[in-house]
Structure 1
Amino acid sequence: MNPILQAQKSHKSIRQYTDQTIDNALLEKLISAAQGAASSSFIQAYSIIQITNPKHRQQIATLAGGQGWVESAAEFLVICADLTRVEYCSEKQGLGPLDGNTEHFIAATTDATFMAQNLMLGAESVGLGAVFIGGIRNDPEQLAQLLELPKQVYPIFGLCLGYPDAQPDLKPRLPVNSILHRDTYDTSRCASDVEAYDQQMQTYYRSRDDNKKQSNWSEQTAAAVQKKKREHMLSFLQNHGFLKC
């Protein structure tokens, strides 16, 4: 198989790391390569904050729900959607400040996400392990104050990077025919697709070498979305200049 396709299919979330550090030149090389990701109208509306202060790492790990790998990873990065440069360009060209348009929020969020996925894939290609940390959105205002984030910037997720000290089992993804629709969206197959995938994931969870559990995909998914609503996010984003219109 093409090595890029193989790398894409082989992703595992890594939360245990060795003590080996990541050379800063390598990190910058990976970030430079990640910038090759697609960008909406080439606005490149993202920034990365490298967290090197151990106390900051500890605070972020705590507000993320006690995720110790935020502290133990060789590198921890906060991926931000960032419209500060975009707003400067707008004002420089006489078009005024940004108005908090939803479209601009979407563009910045997707720009940052495309870049971050590129960064993770590049890191994995050189033997690093990684995991995204959505838990930093548990208290985004506290995080924004800690990182001194200005208006028009918000933290989307964190990214742990390090050399793996464990290799978890590879999770089977939804079958392609469950997510690929042709010409129109087919709602009729949702129930049967979920039931079949539940069976597959239940078998997977029971067969894992470590962390065996009695669960399935729909159980995990329902809990993930219904117990992590983070209803504070809308007001936080609006206070930081997003989603006003």
Structure 2
Amino acid sequence: MRFNQSINYTKLFSQLIDKDGQMDDTIASFLYYLFPRELFIRAVSLIESCDMFIYVLDPDNCHLDSRITTSVSTDVDSPTSSNSVGPITPPVADKNPTNKSQETDTLVSIVYDSESDTLHRLIVKTDHGGNPPIYVDLQNWFCSCDEYSDLFASETDKIADESYIDHLSNEVTDLHEFSDDRFAQLDAHSLSKQRYFLHDKVCCAHLIAYSLLLRTSKRVLHYFATEKQQVPMIRVTSMDEWLKLHINIVA
């Protein structure tokens, strides 16, 4: 069975920011004790570090020719990357706070209205010199950080005859047991089953932080990205640049 199956993490995360746009200390305290290894407080600290980037593909304004669009940096530590295809330059920052807030809110809507995880890439800048940025994939419950790798290796070492899928995920096929909880959910668009990664076995602060932003509600993402301006959101309008972004992460 799924860990803490009675808890709807999406609804719980959504209550972290109340209707007045303020953080609910009671919910924050509950979440602190809910996750082990101080994962929740570490996740919030990550968000507040301003090192978590969300690159958003704008499908309605996407062009095939990158020369007619603003290039974006796919290496968050420098304007160019040795793995990139051709020169990549960072976007020009808009110094007008009103325009910046409006742009961010537009991206917040794109993320929550698109219903597709393929339209954004999640990258965390690292402070350690020479280390590549950390890539996070909520759709497949994956993170490239050392903590995730160590936990995953520890769990898979325990497997004998059981498959990885059976050991690390829970599948729900009874429609009466379906949930609207999107935390650690796999195959989110399947109509016949729901699958959840067993996050009590493998989880890290990066996955919780991005889940808090992207598996809750517009209000939560608006709070951190627009009001606090702690989560840089970057619009990508060139398919060429979008492909470069993927190449830089996997290369």
Greater RCO (Cα-Cα under 8 Å, separation 6 or more): 2
Structure number with greater Rg is 1
Query: One fold, TM greater than 0.5?
Result: no
Structure 1 length-normalised TM = 0.28
Q: Quick check: which one's helix share is greater? A: 1
TM-score by length of 2: 0.27
